[in-house]
Amino acid sequence: MKIKIYSLLLAMMLIIVSSCDLDLLEDPNVPSINTANPTFITTRVQVDFARFFESTGFHGMRLTRMINQNQNNYQSAYVAVTFDPIWARAYQDILNDIKLLEQLAQDSDINYDYHLGIARTLRAYVLMTLTDVFGEVPWSEALDPLTTRSPRVDSGEDVYQAAMVSLQQAKESFSGERPIVRPVDLFYGNDEEKWLKLISTLELKYYLNRRLIDPSGSRIAINSLIGADNFIGEGEDFVFRYGTSLNDPDSRHPRFAATYTAGGGDYQSTWYMYNLIEEGPKPFDDPRVRYYLYRQVTANPTDPDKLRCLGEIAPGHYLAGGYPFCLPGSRGYWGRDHLNNEGIPPDGLERTVWGLYPAGGRYDNDSGTPVNNPSLGNQGAGIQPILLSSFVDFMLAEAVQEGDANGNAKELLLSGISKHLNYVRDFAEGSNEAGTIEAFDPREEYDEKVEEYLAYIESEFESSSTPMRIIGREYWLSLYGNGIESYNLYRRTGQPNGMQPGLLQDAGQFPRSYLYPNDYMVTNINANQRAFTDRVFWDNNPAGFIY
């Protein structure tokens, strides 16, 4: 009887959280209490988690000018249906599977603590992120369809607290007796000490986001975490690694798969590229630019049929603000300005594309050739940079600079930059492009660029009247591929300020949160749509704070 009830619960969950084709209920790949294997479920949760991170952060990258934001205003760019995949991945897949895993572990004589430790850590991240982007979301009623078919939202504060509870449960799971049965650990290879360090790092993320609404409590908690000194360090970065298989399932990085077959893919952001090259605000190229971006042409286009803005004059507010327009320099960095609503001309094999890091593409050695071959570069063996050791230093630098932690902000900033510059290079040296890179940019020369970069930032920081802007800018430049943290950073600090505005002078209200998904709105009678101006619970910055 218990098995039948739980099977019914699982089926109803799939219907309630989002609108789904009923055929999914017969999918043999969807685990039930009768067929589920805890190891299989844990693997599935990890893979779905990577997909959740990618789809959620993709919009954050657009909003923070890391890649181009299409449409000509925010309200046109984002509609409710845009967010359906995020909601379904979180509730229908990850959270439901974790609930099933906990039930299986409870009913089993086998110790599945390690499985639970992984799942509960990832659940905490998912709950925090849902709150970070949607604000109030269903939780206490979300996975219990016998209570209600239209779960009400919980406050953001309560869901965040549930995430913290999940982290403490994960900590207990990893700290107990070492289980004989281990899952396939796609992140840390069954090293519980690294998972425990990740938990401490997620606690730092938790309190950093809360520092605006609870400065005293966050200060105490962050300083306690600093004293314990158990954050992830170099070599313990929390990343999801992709493979090179083209077959179903495609194991390659999604951005590579979308670009390196027929070209095209995402337009890179003029503003982000501007901040990475010597024709931007710094007197030299960022050492990472050739790893981040691959130019299919090494000179600027001249044909306005391929790049329409070549025949246009920059908008007045661009000229007044000194913003780059159309192209950020003269060397073929070809993308689009913020909120550019032009059509797509035949430029798929000419525009600048994702490079080696993090998408597993090509290193830019001035070859300037099309990326229409899936065997190019690292063949899609990229990463999702979810939480790197360098991010810890940037988060701590922010907390110190804003008076919410003890430490030296400048030293933490320089440490974060150094770690990330070296991380990108180390990733590249382990790729198929290693020989090409060493021939074009020998490690000794790269290290000299790193030292030059650090010296420049140190001088800039010491002479700046707005040091938080430098911390925010350098964190933003190190977050390439991670739109979740860049979106949080921008709303939390307003940095880096002075972002390139939309092409239209009035581009609408900047989304301080995502809209609720269409599937949730049409299937839940208790759902009330959010407005773009609605802020999540920890964002108490004023209206118009960012644009």
pLDDT mean over 135-154: 90
What is the pLDDT at residue 247?
A: 87
pLDDT mean over 9-24: 33
pLDDT mean over 129-149: 91
Q: How confident is the model at residue 407 (pLDDT cuts 50, 70, 90)?
A: very high
Tell which residue, 278, 336, 281, 338, has the closest CA to residue 310.
336
Q: What is the token pair recorded at 155?
A: 């406050």
pLDDT mean over 276-298: 98
Q: Give dist(CA 114, CA 121) in Å, integer.
A: 11
Instruction: Using the predicted structure, report yes or no on whether residue 26 has a pLDDT greater than 50.
Output: no
pLDDT mean over 407-431: 98
Mean pLDDT of the chain: 93
Encode 40-62: b = buried (16+ Cβ within 10 Å), e = exposed. Answer: bbbbbbbebbbbbbbbbbbbbbb
Matching residue, tokens 């798969």: 257
Q: Report angle CA 95, 163, 53 to the nearest 5 degrees.
A: 55
Q: Report angle CA 531, 533, 539 to the nearest 5 degrees.
A: 120
Sign of the torsion angle spanned by Cα atoms 392, 396, 398, 399: positive
What is the pLDDT at residue 324?
A: 98
What is the pLDDT at residue 179?
A: 86
Q: Report angle CA 8, 9, 12 to the nearest 5 degrees.
A: 85
* Residue 171: HSE in the Cβ half-sphere, 13 Å Cα cutoff: 16
**10 Å Cβ neighbour count for 161?**
15
What is the pLDDT at residue 30?
A: 55
Least confident of 29-43, 412-426, 499-513, 525-539: 29-43
Model confidence pLDDT, tens digit, residues 514-543: 999 999 999 999 999 999 899 999 999 999
pLDDT mean over 160-178: 95
Domains of the chain, start order? 2-187+511-523 (1.25.40), 254-383 (no CATH)
What is the pLDDT at residue 22?
A: 24
Instruction: Using the predicted structure, report yes or no on whether residue 144 has a pLDDT greater than 90.
Output: no
User: 263: left (phi > 0), else alpha (psi -120 to 50), else beta?
Assistant: left
Percent of the chain with pLDDT over 90: 89
What is the pLDDT at residue 23?
A: 30
What is the pLDDT at residue 32?
A: 61
Percent of the chain with pLDDT over 70: 93
Model confidence pLDDT, tens digit, residues 333-366: 999 999 998 989 999 999 999 999 999 999 999 9
Q: Give dist(CA 208, CA 488) in Å, integer.
A: 10
**C-alpha dihedral over 533, 122, 157, 147, to 10 degrees?**
100
Model confidence pLDDT, tens digit, residues 441-464: 999 999 999 999 999 999 999 999
What is the pLDDT at residue 354?
A: 98
Instruction: Using the predicted structure, report yes or no on whether residue 18 has a pLDDT greater than 60.
Output: no
Q: Is 20 helix (H, G, I), strand (E, B) or coil?
A: coil
Q: Give dist(CA 433, CA 426) in Å, integer.
A: 12
Q: Are 152 and 169 in contact, with CB atoms under 8 Å apart? A: no
Model confidence pLDDT, tens digit, residues 490-503: 999 999 999 999 99
Q: How confident is the model at residue 12 (pLDDT cuts 50, 70, 90)?
A: very low
Matching residue, tokens 């501007």: 274
What is the pLDDT at residue 33?
A: 63
